[in-house]
Amino acid sequence: MANRESFGSGFGILVAMAGSAVGLGNLWRFPYLVGTNGGAAFIIIYLAFVLLLALPIMYSEFIVGRRSQANVFGAFKVLAPGTKWCNIGFIYVLGSLAIISFYCVVGGWTINYFWKAITFKFAVADTAALGNMFSQTVTANYEPLGFMLIFLVATALIVMAGVKDGIERYTKLMMPVLFLIVVLVAVRAVTLPGAGAGLEFLFKPDFSKVTANTFLDALGQAFFSLSIGCGTVMTYSSYVSKKENVVGLSVETAMADTIFAIIAGLAIMPAVFSFGISPSEGPGLVFVTLPYIFAQIPMGSFLAILFFFMLFIAAITSSISMLEVIVAYLNEEFKMGRKLAIILSFAVVVVLGTMCSLSQGVMADFKIFGNNIFDFFDKLSANILLPVGGFLAVIFVGWKMKRADVEDELTSGGVHPFTRAFRNYVYFSIKYLAPIVVAIILIRGLI
Nearer residue to ligand PHE within complex by CB, 231 or 300: 231
- Closest approach, Cβ 425 to ligand PHE, in A, equals 26
DSSP state of 164: I
Site string for ligand PHE, 115-154 (x = CB under 6 A): ----------------------------------------
Q: Which stretch binds ligand PHE (CB under 6 A): 208-216, 223-231, 241-249, 281-289?
A: 223-231
| Close Cβ partners of 275 (under 8 Å, ≥ 6 residues apart) | 289, 292, 293, 296
Q: How far is the CB of 260 from ligand PHE (least distance, A)?
A: 9
- Rounded-to-integer distance, Cα 178 and Cα 23, Å: 10
Q: Is 321 in the site for ligand PHE (CB under 6 A)?
A: yes
Angle of helix 420-428 versus helix 403-410 axis, rounded to 10: 120
**Amino acid at position 357, single letter:** S
Which of 51-59, 316-324, 341-349, 435-443 is the region at the interface with ligand PHE (rule: CB under 6 A)?
A: 316-324
Identify which of residues 76 and 102 has a Cβ nearer to ligand PHE in the complex.
102
Q: Of the two residues 61 and 244, which places its CB atom closer to ligand PHE in the complex? A: 61
The smaller minimum CB distance to ligand PHE, of residues 406 and 438, is found at 438
The C-alpha angle 426, 75, 219, rounded to 5 degrees, equals: 45
Q: Per CB under 6 A, does 390 bind ligand PHE?
A: no
Residue among 23 and 35 whose Cβ is closer to ligand PHE: 23
Give the residue, chosen from 36, 112, 137, 227, that forms a contact with ligand PHE under the rule CB under 6 A: 227
Tell me how far apart the alpha carbons of residues 420 and 11 are, in angstroms, rounded to a whole number: 27
Q: How far apart are CA 20 and CA 260, in angstroms?
A: 13
Nearer to ligand PHE, 277 or 325 (CB): 325
Distance (Å, rounded) from C-alpha 406 to C-alpha 398? 8
Closest separation between CB of residue 207 and ligand PHE, Å? 26
Which residue lies nearer to ligand PHE by CB, 20 or 412?
20
Residue 253 is a binding residue for ligand PHE (CB under 6 A) = no
| Contact status: 235 vs ligand PHE (CB under 6 A) | no
| Given 232, 235, 237, 372, the residue binding ligand PHE (CB under 6 A) | 232
List of E strands, 127-207:
none
Please report, as residue ranges, which positions from 12 to 51 form the binding site for ligand PHE (by CB under 6 A).
20-21, 23-26
Cβ partners under 8 Å of residue 210, min gap 6: 37, 38, 41, 42, 45
Distance CA 216, CA 205 (A): 18
**Does position 398 bind ligand PHE by CB under 6 A?**
no
The residues, ordered by sequence, that sit 6+ positions from 52 with a Cβ below 8 Å of its Cβ are 429, 433, 434, 437
- The CB-of-19 to ligand PHE minimum distance in angstroms stands at 9
Q: Report, in Å, the least distance between residue 227 CB and ligand PHE.
A: 4
Q: How far is CA 323 from CA 132, 156, 346, in A?
A: 33, 8, 8
Q: What's the CA gap between 232 and 221, in Å, rounded?
A: 16
* CA 39 to the chain's CA centroid: 20
Cα distances (angstroms) measured from residue 1 to each of 71, 72, 85, 160: 11, 14, 20, 20
By the rule CB under 6 A, 224 interacts with ligand PHE: yes
Using CB under 6 A as the binding rule, whether residue 300 contacts ligand PHE is answered as: no
What distance separates the 2 farthest-apart alpha carbons in the chain?
Answer: 65
Q: How far is the CB of 232 from ligand PHE (least distance, A)?
A: 4
Q: How many residues bind ligand PHE (CB under 6 A)?
A: 15
Decide: 111 and 143 in contact? Cβ < 8 Å. no
Say whether residue 185 binds ligand PHE (CB under 6 A): no
Stretch that binds ligand PHE, among 199-207, 219-227, 290-298, 411-419 (CB under 6 A): 219-227
Residue 322 engages ligand PHE in binding (rule: CB under 6 A):
yes
Reference 393, options 52, 61, 59; nearest CA is: 61
When asked if residue 101 is in the footprint of ligand PHE (CB under 6 A), the reply is no
What residues line the site for ligand PHE (CB under 6 A)? 20-21, 23-26, 99, 224-225, 227, 230, 232, 318, 321-322
